[in-house]
Chains A and B, each alone.
Chain A
């Protein structure tokens, strides 16, 4: 196995281009576990930890740019992640357990595209955009466009995620992330991430994303639309949840059957919405 630890993004890109089978090493929480289990054996590791740019956080008028190497611990502790952005902060605050949160990074979570975990779910809910650096250029894409399948992204060989933009969202919008897992230190069986804005007791805008119920985070426009303009009453939630459940493609695993996950979607959607509303009122 070859190893490089470049100090700039450009040097990282150039290192990635030197080897067919090079992988970026971010926090290591997932990559090293997979290496230990013999599930992967990359020909080259390009560690990103010495690239200062990747650990910076920049606030703009519209939101926050978070460097790809920001750990979940850093994200969870950043009080600037308010309003809609809180969905990401909450997801980062409760996933797995403290030592994992101290290691795992935002960019690592995006690049891995693990369908069991929840940061991608919250990022999609928060309408995050991702800056991708490739040979000679950088582009900014909606985060959901990166997730193409279980553990597969639309990143091209030789590209890497440099930072993530979280838009502030509209005034009064609140983000919320609800995870449901067998035990606290586990991947969620189902997670629900959403951004909600109310006009009095009516839903003005909502974006609901479901995790662990398919190869990629599940977002269904029609489900959002079913909720917009309603008072989020039981029937509205049930129908929106039904749309999501029908669109979901969960699998059976040790955390629950596909059928259970489908049952949970509308149930947890209701809980997530009411928790988000409580938050909106405080």
Chain B
């Protein structure tokens, strides 16, 4: 039997007191315990990027992060990106550029892009491509996704 560890996770600014086994990933805990299902499961090995969340503002893979290691860290999921009824500029750009198809990759892409824009408010197309290097999209061919995000930087 596994240890059960009591942890308090800060998810989108709110404290969540949870009891978790050490092997449970942040992805499992988000989807099953916290019921924040916007974080998607695509591969369980860090190859698809669908489960990307921010930890202290940095994109990480929630499928490879153990929940027990994260107390005291600021976890941002897709549910924490939107501000009331307002879409984040990245979200708005993706919608308006017609970049969204099946949408399964979108939460991860939004978070990767948000982190990029926070450290580099005017990214080039190449900056955007580099930042999305771990976010697989199987529908769009990436063209409109990159265009949408790069449009926020206003640079070629």
Q: Check whether chain A touches chain B (CB < 8 angstroms).
A: yes
Is B130 an interface position by the 8 A CB rule? Answer: yes
B126 within 8 A of partner (CB)? no
Closest to A96 in B: B134
Tell me the minimal C-beta distance from A36 to chain B in angstroms. 4
Tally A-B pairs: CB < 8 A. Answer: 84
In the bound complex, do residue A100 and residue B134 qualify as a contact, i.e. CB atoms below 8 Å apart?
A: yes
Q: How large is the interface on A (under 10, 10 to 19, 20 to 34, 35 or more residues)?
A: 20 to 34
Contacting A at CB under 8 A, from B23-62, are 23, 25, 44-47, 49, 52, 58-61
Q: Is the CB of B112 within 8 A of A28?
A: no
A-side interface mostly:
mixed
Bound form: Cα–Cα A3–B23 in Å: 9
Interface residues of B in 1-27 (CB under 8 A from A): 2-3, 5, 21-23, 25
Chain B residues within 8 Å of chain A by Cβ, number = 28
A 96-108 to B, binary, CB cutoff 8 A, 1 in contact else 0: 1111101100000
Q: Which of A33, A36, A45, A73 contacts B22 (CB 8 A)?
A: A45
- Determine whether the beta carbon of B49 is less than 8 Å from that of A97: yes
Inside 8 A of A98's CB, which chain B residues have their CB? 59, 112, 130-131, 133-134
**Contact A25–B44 (Cβ < 8 Å):** no
Inside 8 A of B46's CB, which chain A residues have their CB?
Answer: 29, 33, 96, 99-100, 103
Closest to A29 in B: B64
Any chain A CB within 8 A of the CB of B106?
Answer: no
- The answer to whether A2 has its CB under 8 Å from any CB of chain B is yes
A5→B69 contact, CB < 8 A: yes
Q: In the complex, A96 Cα to B61 Cα: how many Å?
A: 13
Q: Is the CB of B44 within 8 A of A33?
A: yes
A35 on the B face (CB < 8 A)? yes
Name B66's contact: one of A28, A96, A184 (CB within 8 Å).
Answer: A28
Cβ of A1 under 8 Å from chain B: yes
A99 adjacent to B52 (CB under 8 Å): yes
Residues 26 to 65 of chain A near chain B (Cβ within 8 Å): 28-29, 32-33, 35-37, 45, 47, 49
Among the listed A3, A33, A99, A184, which residue makes an inter-chain contact with B112, where contact means beta carbons less than 8 Å apart? A99
Task: For A32, list chain B residues within 8 Å (CB).
Answer: 25, 63-66
Determine whether the beta carbon of B45 is less than 8 Å from that of A33: yes
Given A73-B58, A98-B59, 6 new contacts (CB under 8 A) = A1-B23, A29-B46, A32-B63, A32-B65, A33-B44, A99-B61
